[in-house]
């Protein structure tokens, strides 16, 4: 029994060592993060150093932000489809339902129209570009 527990803990230890987390803080309370596979980047609302809440699913390819909005592009792997998102930073908070602050997924045309409707600054561009090959 002791050998079985030793083997179990050794396997668990090495599995945890194999999980590599890579975070890009993009503003005071948002981060783009992945575990192990870079193309699986997702956008999160940061609660503290150890906790965050998902806002946009994985496969984030581009992000831009200012004090009022976060904009993001997301690839749907294998289909060649790009979805666009806008986060209204002022509506987002720890207890917010993501639908209160996150608009998307949208087509490029919907994104352009919604951006205008929401008065998202025309100076806000996609400033972080992630290589999604890996």
Determine the pLDDT at residue 68.
95
Determine the pLDDT at residue 14.
39
Across the chain, mean pLDDT equals 83
Domain contains 6: no
Strand 69-76 with 102-106, pairing: unpaired
Domain contains 56: yes
d(CA 66, CA 44): 16
Place 22 in a pLDDT band, splitting at 50, 70 and 90: low
Domain contains 48: yes
Domain contains 76: yes
User: Which DSSP letter does residue 67 get?
Assistant: S
105-125 per-position pLDDT tens digit: 999 999 999 999 999 999 999
**For residues 40-53, average pLDDT:** 91
d(CA 123, CA 14): 46
User: What's the half-sphere exposure (Cβ side, CA atoms, 13 Å) at 36?
Assistant: 5
Domain contains 2: no
Domain contains 14: no
- By three-state DSSP, how is residue 15 classified? helix
Percentage of the chain beyond pLDDT 90 is: 61
Determine the pLDDT at residue 64.
96
Determine the pLDDT at residue 100.
92
For 59, the domain range is 20-129
Place 92 in a pLDDT band, splitting at 50, 70 and 90: very high
Place 77 in a pLDDT band, splitting at 50, 70 and 90: confident
Q: Total structural domains in the chain?
A: 1
């Amino acid at each position: 029994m002791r050998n079985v527990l030793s083997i179990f803990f050794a396997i668990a230890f090495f599995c945890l060592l194999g999980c590599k987390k890579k975070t890009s803080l993009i503003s005071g309370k948002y981060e783009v993060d992945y575990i192990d596979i870079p193309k699986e980047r997702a956008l999160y609302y940061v609660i503290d150093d150890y906790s965050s809440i998902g806002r946009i699913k994985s496969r984030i390819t581009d992000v831009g932000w200012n004090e009022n909005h976060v904009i993001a592009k997301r690839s749907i792997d294998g289909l060649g489809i790009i979805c666009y998102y806008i986060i209204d930073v002022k509506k987002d908070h720890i207890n917010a339902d993501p639908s209160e602050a996150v608009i998307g997924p949208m087509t490029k045309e919907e994104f352009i129209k919604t951006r205008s409707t929401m008065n998202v600054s025309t100076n806000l561009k996609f400033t972080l570009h992630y290589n999604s090959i890996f």
